[in-house]
Amino acid sequence: MSVGLIAGALLLVFGADPLPKGWSIPLVDLDERKDLQILVDREKGQYLGHPTTVLLEDGKTILCVYPKGHGKGAIIHKKSTDGGLTWSERIPVPENWATSKETPTLHRLIDPEGKKRLVMFSGLHPVRMASSGDDGKTWTPLEKVGDYGGIVAMGSVISQKTGPGHYLAWFHDDGRYFSEKPAPKKPVEFTLYQIETADGGKTWSAPRVIQQSQAVHLCEPGAIRSPDGKTIALLLRENRRLKNSHVIFSHDEGKTWTEPAELCGALTGDRHTAVRLSDGRYFISFRDMALQGPTRGDWVAWVGTWEDILAMSKGEPRQGSYRLRLKKNHKGSDCAYPGVELLPDGTIVTTTYGHWAPNEAPWILSVRLKVSEIDAQLRKAGTP
């Protein structure tokens, strides 16, 4: 292994042979790059976790929500009007947001008439939703979506090409929350569900099972669309920690899905959140859970192409361009359910929680970076 310092970032390059449960692409360590880090919220002795973000159409206003606790807890709302450089004080929210049972997720949807809406989901049973028609100035209380529950409800929402106002969303459950009277199977069975809307998120279909297994526990789907727009991929956490993360594909706007395929260690982790860059590559942020490697349990990002993901799914030894350690986590693997936004100038604003200092409660942090600058640093160091 070779070690070098690039513009204040530690670069680690591992041996050339790919590790089936690890990875061998370069790592650029940004943990000490304080110049890239922005404090979003911190409260002494209080656990703040699991944020989600939305970038509005002006290209600079970012909304962020997160629970006051590990998943379960009162939902806090903040806003940045300058692309994540500064953040507001906590914004008042409806009273029943304090009853949230799980990680909130925030999304922008547009109905068939062009009306823009923000929707926020809160999971377990029943899944509930709040909405705003004025860019987050006012919100409805949380109200149930249907007679079902699930975990990390609607962590990903993606627009369909079947018509304006059409969207797909996903969640998972392990038998504990889907029904009001749960009946978990033994051995435990993980199920991925898909729901759909044709009216921009006002109403949603009943959940449909798209994948189910007792052997491999796949969950927390992170959706990306192929560069040609024809394929949707869901990147999936493997919760038994016996295998790498997996991927499934749909070539027909979610009607059918391929069988799960295992990825390599470079993309193995939890709660993948992605943006597509101007050069066609993807920046995907997640909690690193590769079974081998020096950043397990930390907040990381992967940079690579759609072709890299396809190759991994076929068992080919491609791992992507490189990895970033965005921030070291100091308590197990309790960090990094990230929001990721791409600003018009190419700046990525990725926001998450973590134990960023030993023996302290987790707080919310943003990292602002440009992948083009990381590319230039790597070229300068002679790393392909």
**Rounded Cα–Cα distance for residues 286 and 274 (Å):** 9
Cα–Cα distances in Å, from 224 out to 76, 126, 191, 232, 233? 27, 27, 20, 6, 5
CA 298 to chain centre: 14
Neighbour-count burial of 217, counting CB atoms closer than 10 A to its CB (0-12 exposed, 13-18 middle, 19+ buried) = buried
pLDDT of residue 20: 59
**Rounded Cα–Cα distance for residues 337 and 271 (Å):** 6
pLDDT of residue 6: 44
* Dihedral (CA of 65, 84, 339, 364) sign: negative
pLDDT in tens, the chain (384 residues): 333 344 445 555 444 444 458 899 999 999 999 999 999 999 999 999 999 999 999 999 999 999 999 989 999 999 999 999 999 999 999 999 999 999 999 999 999 999 999 999 999 999 999 999 999 999 999 999 999 999 999 999 999 999 999 999 999 999 999 999 888 889 999 999 999 999 999 999 999 999 999 999 999 999 999 999 999 999 999 999 999 999 999 999 999 999 999 999 999 999 999 999 999 999 999 999 999 999 999 999 999 999 999 999 999 989 999 999 999 999 999 999 989 999 999 999 999 999 999 999 999 999 999 999 999 999 998 876
